[in-house]
């Protein structure tokens, strides 16, 4: 199996054959948006240049204002918090569940104030957060929910597709993701007015577009009296080349996700019976899409032992082990700059989110995108050998 198949190449070549003529622009973008909305059971989809622009746009479309608070998890790539800052709003960090690694509903409740306007939840590594409790909290407290599903394609929560729960749901097509065009992103929603606001913000504030129309017409721009810009907007639009590529990926989504799930299954077998390697818990009724396979190295002196385990894995022929991101509030920019912003009420000190801090230094992330299953089988065997060697040398 190939990650990029002949289908994607045919679609991309069609764009090149059009020589970027504006009269033919957006044909693949329109098809992608239509098919994406249908796949994720939403009424509207708006495409973007990347999966950070999506979340910034969602906040703007929802009317979240400067100085208002948005709750985010700290254990993820920093994009959710950065999107909040792009909007001049205030990120508030809620702790995570120690077993699922996802944002904790209990911690969300503890961090809600009169200034809270939204939550950005993350489906970490492809596992849904608790979409039984989180939407209820949003409804009761009258705050918005934005799903960050950059790592979750075709994941499910109790029969529903991840992407069906938020006022907006955001997806990424960055190079490492299940579906990719190198970069790109998508927002989905069921509310036409939100889709139209999102479209306008990502398209320079153009007035001649709508929830499902992403391009002004030739007649419009041939009128000297035509007014283009009716509001502030950014140029966050996806390119037609990206749209063509990811359209092909979307049509192959089941097989692309299945590869990762199968690889994760091999890793699960490899660690069986090892009580000091603890996988991300998948509760009953959840369907994981395994953007990565993540474990906790539950041993004394985890920071030293983490490097020893990684080095052994590499020595045995492993592809390497990715570390978890630094917690967002522990990144230098947040410590040195954001901590002193007006409206920031949390102190970015140790124990702000104790469960996230416990997990971050112990997490081992294994890649799952092995397009030849024999390669995944080899890595699982190397993991088994590494476990045996590590136990003999260090435990």
pLDDT at 23: 60
Q: Quick one: pLDDT at residue 26?
A: 80
- Select from 28, 1, 23 the least CA-distant residue to 13: 28
CA distance 23 to 33: 19
Q: Please compute, for residue 267, the number of CA atoms within 13 A of its CA located in the half-sphere on the CB side.
A: 27
Helices 6-17, 240-251: crossing angle, 10 deg rounding: 150
Using alpha carbons, select from 58, 306, 311 the residue that is nearest to residue 166.
58
Cα separation values, 175 from 51, 252, 291, 322, Å: 11, 16, 12, 16
Judged against a pLDDT cut of 70, whether residue 101 lies above it is answered with yes
The whole-number pLDDT of residue 154 equals: 98
Contact 138, 105 (CB under 8 A): no
What's the token pair of residue 311?
């080095």
Helix/strand/coil for 198: helix
Q: What is the pTM of this model?
A: 0.96
Q: Is pLDDT at 350 greater than 80 in this prediction?
A: yes
**With contact defined as beta carbons under 8 Å apart, do 361 and 319 qualify?**
no
- From the list 346, 336, 330, the residue with the least C-alpha distance to 70 is 346
Q: What domains does the chain contain, in order, with CATH numbers?
A: 6-252 (3.40.640.10), 254-324+361-394 (3.90.1150.10)
Residues 6+ apart with CB under 8 A from 222: none
pLDDT at 352: 98
Report the pLDDT value the prediction gives residue 225, as an integer from 0 to 100: 79
C-alpha 269, offset from chain centre: 27
Long-range contact set of residues 167-171: C-beta below 8 Å, sequence gap at least 24: 167/58, 167/62, 167/191, 167/194, 168/54, 168/58, 168/61, 168/62, 168/144, 168/194, 168/198, 169/40, 169/42, 170/51, 170/54, 170/55, 170/58, 170/146, 171/36, 171/51, 171/54
Q: What is the pLDDT of residue 83?
A: 98
End-to-end CA distance of the chain: 39
Average pLDDT score over residue span 5-24: 89
Q: Is 165 left (phi over 0), alpha (psi -120 to 50) or beta?
A: alpha
The C-alpha atoms of residue 44 and residue 281 are separated, in whole angstroms, by: 32
pLDDT at residue number 211: 86
- How many percent of the chain have pLDDT more than 70? 99
Average pLDDT over residues 153-157: 98
Can you give the pLDDT at residue 144? 98
pLDDT value at residue 24: 61
Burial class (CB in 10 A: 0-12, 13-18, 19+), 334: buried
Residues near 357 by beta carbon (within 8 Å), at least 6 away in sequence: 327, 350, 351
Q: What is the mean pLDDT of residues 364-378?
A: 98
pLDDT over 90 (residue 381)? yes
pLDDT digits 0-9 by tens, 213-269: 877 777 777 778 778 888 999 999 999 999 999 999 999 999 999 999 999 999 999
Q: Rounded to whole angstroms, how far apart are CA atoms 136 and 145?
A: 10
CA atoms within 13 A on the CB side of 213: 8
Q: What gap in Å lies between CA 244 and CA 13, rounded to an integer?
A: 9
Q: How many CA atoms lie within 13 A of 293 on its CB side?
A: 27
Q: Name the pLDDT band for 48 (thresholds 50, 70, 90).
A: very high
| Element spanning 250, H or E | helix 240-251
Q: Is 333 left (phi over 0), alpha (psi -120 to 50) or beta?
A: alpha
Average pLDDT of 355-369? Answer: 98
- Contacting residues for 236 by C-beta, under 8 A, at least 6 apart: 48, 49, 50, 53, 56, 57, 201, 202, 203
Cα–chain center distance at 339: 25
Ranges of beta strands (E only) in 9-136 are: 44-48, 69-72, 90-93, 116-122
Interval 24-35: pLDDT, tens:
668 999 999 999
> What's the mean per-residue pLDDT of the chain?
96
- Confidence bin at 212 (pLDDT 50/70/90): confident
């Amino acid at each position: 199996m190939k990650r990029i198949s002949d289908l994607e190449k045919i679609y991309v070549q069609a764009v090149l054959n059009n020589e970027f003529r504006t009269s033919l622009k957006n044909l693949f973008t329109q098809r992608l948006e239509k098919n994406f909305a249908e796949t994720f059971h939403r009424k509207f989809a708006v495409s973007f240049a990347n999966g950070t622009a999506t979340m910034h746009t969602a906040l703007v479309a929802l009317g979240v204002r400067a100085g208002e608070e948005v709750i985010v998890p700290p254990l993820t790539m920093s994009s959710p918090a950065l999107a909040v800052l792009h909007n001049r709003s205030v990120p508030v960090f809620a702790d995570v569940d120690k077993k699922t690694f996802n944002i904790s509903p209990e911690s969300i409740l503890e961090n809600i104030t009169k200034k809270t306007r939204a939550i950005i939840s993350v489906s970490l590594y492809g596992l849904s957060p608790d979409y039984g409790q989180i939407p209820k909290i949003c409804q009761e407290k009258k705050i918005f929910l934005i799903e960050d599903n950059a790592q979750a394609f075709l994941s499910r929560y109790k029969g529903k597709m991840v992407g069906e729960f938020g006022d907006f749901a955001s997806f990424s097509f960055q190079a490492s993701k299940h579906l990719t065009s190198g970069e790109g992103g998508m927002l989905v929603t069921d509310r036409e007015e939100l889709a139209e606001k999102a479209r306008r913000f990502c398209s320079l504030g153009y007035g001649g577009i709508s929830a499902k129309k992403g391009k002004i017409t030739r007649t419009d721009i041939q009128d000297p009296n035509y007014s283009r810009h009716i509001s502030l907007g950014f140029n966050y639009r996806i390119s037609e080349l990206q749209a063509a590529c990811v359209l092909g990926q979307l049509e192959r989504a089941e097989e692309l996700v299945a590869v990762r799930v199968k690889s994760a299954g091999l890793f699960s077998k490899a660690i069986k019976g090892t009580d000091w390697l603890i996988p991300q818990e998948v509760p009953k009724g959840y369907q994981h899409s395994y953007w990565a396979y993540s474990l906790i190295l539950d041993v004394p002196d985890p920071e030293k032992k983490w490097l020893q385990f990684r080095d052994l894995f590499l020595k045995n022929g492993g592809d390497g082990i990715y570390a978890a991101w630094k917690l967002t509030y522990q990144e230098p920019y947040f410590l040195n700059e954001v901590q002193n912003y007006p409206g920031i009420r949390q102190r970015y000190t140790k124990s702000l989110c104790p469960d996230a801090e416990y997990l971050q230094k112990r997490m081992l992330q294994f890649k799952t995108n092995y397009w030849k299953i024999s390669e995944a089988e080899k890595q699982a065997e190397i993991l088994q050998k590494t476990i045996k060697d590590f136990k003999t040398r260090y435990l």
